[in-house]
């Protein structure tokens, strides 16, 4: 619990305590303002999330497929997305990947980020989803899924929080609960992580670990 500051005499400079208290109040106001434009139903759904599952191409990446002259596949990932996933872990949430393609680069990135559930080559994503529910004991309403194309529809229609990035297919945008402001590979996953953390009330608690207050 934050201690109350002792007010300074009239005309005196504010104490360090008062300055930091002012910063905290501004941060709380910014957070409230950032949530003001979000549907309360979306926030209610996000509040229940315990597991975030992600597609890869078009979500964690910009959907571009790059190959070296040797035929090896390369992928570019966004560091802000990675940090958002790390923040979810700090808040006690689990994360996972369900992707129809298979790549050593995905395995490497997932291991770097300590992502627990990794399903590659999952053309039938629903089967992977069922396995994850069985192994974790989570209910569908406790799971969020983020995808960008038709292969993701079957999961987006089952989970508690369905999300697509700004570059998601139009058919997804008509069924999801939330569309991020940024496209895949450019901070879309971070937008989703921030939404969940703010809805759960974890955002400011985590932020304080990285500030002077």
Phi and psi torsions of 104, nearest 5°: -65, -30
- What's this model's pTM, rounded to 2 decimal places? 0.81
What's the alpha-carbon Rg for the chain, to the nearest Å? 20
Q: What are the tokens at 15?
A: 């104490």
C-beta of residue 143 within 8 angstroms of C-beta of residue 53: yes
Render each residue's pLDDT in the chain as its tens digit; 213 residues.
445 666 666 656 666 666 566 555 555 555 545 566 788 999 999 999 999 999 999 999 997 767 766 767 778 789 999 999 999 999 999 999 999 988 888 999 999 999 999 999 998 999 999 999 999 999 999 999 999 999 999 999 999 999 999 999 999 999 999 999 999 999 999 999 999 999 999 998 999 898 875
pLDDT attached to residue 212: 72
pLDDT attached to residue 4: 60
Q: Give the residue ranges of DSSP H helices in the chain.
A: 16-35, 40-47, 79-90, 104-112, 125-136, 153-156, 170-173, 188-200, 203-207
Q: What are the tokens at 98?
A: 């369900």
Q: What is the pLDDT of residues 97-109, one digit of tens each?
A: 999 988 888 999 9
Q: Is 144 helix (H, G, I), strand (E, B) or coil?
A: strand
C-beta of residue 35 within 8 angstroms of C-beta of residue 198: yes
């Amino acid at each position: 619990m934050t201690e109350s500051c002792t007010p300074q005499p009239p005309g005196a400079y504010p104490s360090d305590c008062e300055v930091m208290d002012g910063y905290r109040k501004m941060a709380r106001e910014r957070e409230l303002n950032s949530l003001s434009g979000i549907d309360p139903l979306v926030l209610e759904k996000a509040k229940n999330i315990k597991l975030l599952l992600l597609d890869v191409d078009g979500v964690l990446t910009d959907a571009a497929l790059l190959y070296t002259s040797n035929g090896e596949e390369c992928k570019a990932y966004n560091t802000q997305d990675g940090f958002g996933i790390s923040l979810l872990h700090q808040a006690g949430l689990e994360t996972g990947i369900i992707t129809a393609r298979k790549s050593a680069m995905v395995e490497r990135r997932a291991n770097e980020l300590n992502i627990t559930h990794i399903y590659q080559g999952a053309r039938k994503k629903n089967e992977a989803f069922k396995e994850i529910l069985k192994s974790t004991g989570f209910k569908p309403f406790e799971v969020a899924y983020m995808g960008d194309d038709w292969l993701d529809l079957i999961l987006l229609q089952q989970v508690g929080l369905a999300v697509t990035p700004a570059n998601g297919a139009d058919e997804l945008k008509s069924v999801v609960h939330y569309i991020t402001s940024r496209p895949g590979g450019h901070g879309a996953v971070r937008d989703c992580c921030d939404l969940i953390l703010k809805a759960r009330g974890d955002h400011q608690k985590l932020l304080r670990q990285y500030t002077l207050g």
